[in-house]
Structures are given as structure tokens and as C-alpha cells.
Amino acid sequence: MISQKWAKLIKSLHLKKFRKAEQLFFVEGEKAVMEVLASGWPVKALFGTADFLGRHPDAAIAAELAHPCTASELEQVGTFTSNNAAIAVVELPHYAPFAEQNGDWVLVLDQINDPGNLGTIIRIADWYGIGHILCSTDTVDAFNPKVIASAKGSFLRVKLHYQPLAEVLGKVRQPVFGAYLGGESVHQLQLASSGGFIVLGNEANGISNELEPLISRRITIPAFGDAESLNVGIACAVIVDNLQRLSSTE
């Protein structure tokens, strides 16, 4: 069973301020929990159903501490409406401040609010081999349980840095691309070299005025129909796909 003390702790970790205070977050569901255990990230506690622990005897060893519990207990403390597998409580990672590497593509998120969008963007970064995401300090927290759920294990490989964006972008050497309406078409771009920063703006308001002077190239996904806009996760995927295509064929 999940003790009162652990139940209270896990429930508190739904909120950023308690994740920060405790330096912990949690991961839900069979696949993500198995990925965390395999990753070597420090797991403080593992709660699993008898079925889950029976099928993964190694999981208990990897976690050092495994507590058998019921699916309903997992659902009570976590965010999944259905979880008949496990929850792992994990230490928050600490990344070095962002440092520019020539040739790397870096995503820059300017106040992304929706956790599902952030999770999707982390998964896209992982697919396209982007190791670092710069986030404005008001972007939704990467260890929000909904971000973790939609990032599908990719949060283990992509590093998110929450830093004042204008300060960082003011000092970089590589080009800074910004997604705008009415910029250069990503189908016709010419790149002098691979690598740079790709700025994506807030879901409703786009890129903030403060960052505008720091954008060196405005780029756009060409429209062939009548939709007004694309979701920020979709726009991210299409832009990154085009930039990686151009980088890899040059």
C-alpha cells in the first residue's frame, strides 16, 4: 500500500512549488516508469501493482525500494484516470546553464502555457536529435505531470533550461529563427550553415515584443488552404523537419 506520508508527498508533487521544495517529481504508467528505471535517474520510491512487480522483478531492485499497492491507490495519488501499473518518485535533475554549441539546433520557447504542447515539443526535439530547449521563465514547468505524460520518456534525453531568453539570445553567435506569419517560406530557405535557434511563441500571442529585435530570420510554414493558424506543436514539428532536411542534405 501507499502510506499516508507517501500519498501526501506524491499529491503535493502535482504542484511546481512542492516539486521545487522537495526536489522531486513523479512518473506514471508502465512504459514511462520502466524507461526511468532503465535511465539510471535516481528513483526515490517505486509504487507498483502486484501484477506490475511480478512481471518486472528487476524493477524493484533497480528502484531499491518497491512498495506493492493497488491500481486504485495509484489513481488516487497520481493524475492518470487509469493506472494499473506503477508510479515512480524521482529526483529532479540539475542541468548546467545553457551553453551554445556551433552546429546544434536549439528550440526556444517563449511562454508556452499548455503542458500537452510542451510535452509534444519535447518529444519532437527528441525525434529530431535536438538536445536542448531554452524556456522563458514563465513557460509551463517541464516536470508538471501532464508534460511528463505527453513527452513519453523523451524528457529523459532532452534538457530544458529555464532562463531569461532576451539575455541568452542577446549573446549567441548563430542565427535566431522566429516563427511568424509572412516570413520566408521554410520550403525555400537557404541555410549558410547548420545550427541555430528556433523561437516559438505563446499559443495566443506569438513571440513577445521583447524578443523581436533578437530574431535574425523570420520564417513561415506556407499555407495552401484557409486555416488561420497551426497549433504550436504542429508548427514546431514542421519547422524542425524542414531545418533538419536542409541541414542534412547540404
Backbone φ, ψ for residue 162 (5° rounding): -95, 105
Do the Cβ atoms of 59 and 34 come closer than 8 Å? yes
CA distance 63 to 75: 20
Helix, strand and coil percent figures for the chain, each rounded to 5: 40, 20, 40
Instruction: Tally Cβ neighbours within 10 Å of residue 14.
Output: 16
For a second copy, which is the closer residue by CB, 119 or 201? 119
Q: Candidates 1-9, 63-71, 206-214, 217-225 — which segment interacts with a second copy by CB under 8 A?
A: 217-225
Q: Which of 19, 56, 67, 123 binds a second copy (CB under 8 A)?
A: 123
Q: Which of 130, 147, 169, 215 binds a second copy (CB under 8 A)?
A: 130
Asked if 222 touches a second copy (CB under 8 A), the answer is: yes
Asked if 241 touches a second copy (CB under 8 A), the answer is: yes
Q: Which of 164, 181, 245, 250 binds a second copy (CB under 8 A)?
A: 245
Q: In the 8-state DSSP scheme, what is residue 198?
A: E
Q: Which of 13, 86, 124, 160 binds a second copy (CB under 8 A)?
A: 124
Q: According to CB under 8 A, which residues from 155 to 214 bind a second copy? A: 157, 187
Q: Which of 17, 171, 190, 224 binds a second copy (CB under 8 A)?
A: 224
For a second copy, which is the closer residue by CB, 169 or 236? 236
For a second copy, which is the closer residue by CB, 39 or 70? 39
Do the Cβ atoms of 203 and 248 come closer than 8 Å? no
Which residues have C-beta within 8 Å of that of residue 85, sequence separation ≥ 6? Answer: 29, 30, 33, 48, 49, 51, 52, 74
CB of 150 to a second copy, least distance (A): 8
CB of 225 to a second copy, least distance (A): 4
For a second copy, which is the closer residue by CB, 115 or 153? 153
For a second copy, which is the closer residue by CB, 145 or 233? 233
CB of 226 to a second copy, least distance (A): 6
Q: In the 8-state DSSP scheme, what is residue 117?
A: H
Q: 86-91 and 24-28 as β-strands: parallel, antiparallel, unpaired?
A: antiparallel
Asked if 103 touches a second copy (CB under 8 A), the answer is: no
Distant-in-sequence contacts of 99-102, Cβ < 8 A, 24+ apart: 100/172, 100/173, 100/174, 101/195, 102/173, 102/174, 102/195
Q: Interface residues with a second copy (CB under 8 A)?
A: 120, 123-130, 152-154, 157, 187, 221-231, 233-234, 237-238, 241-242, 244-245, 248-249
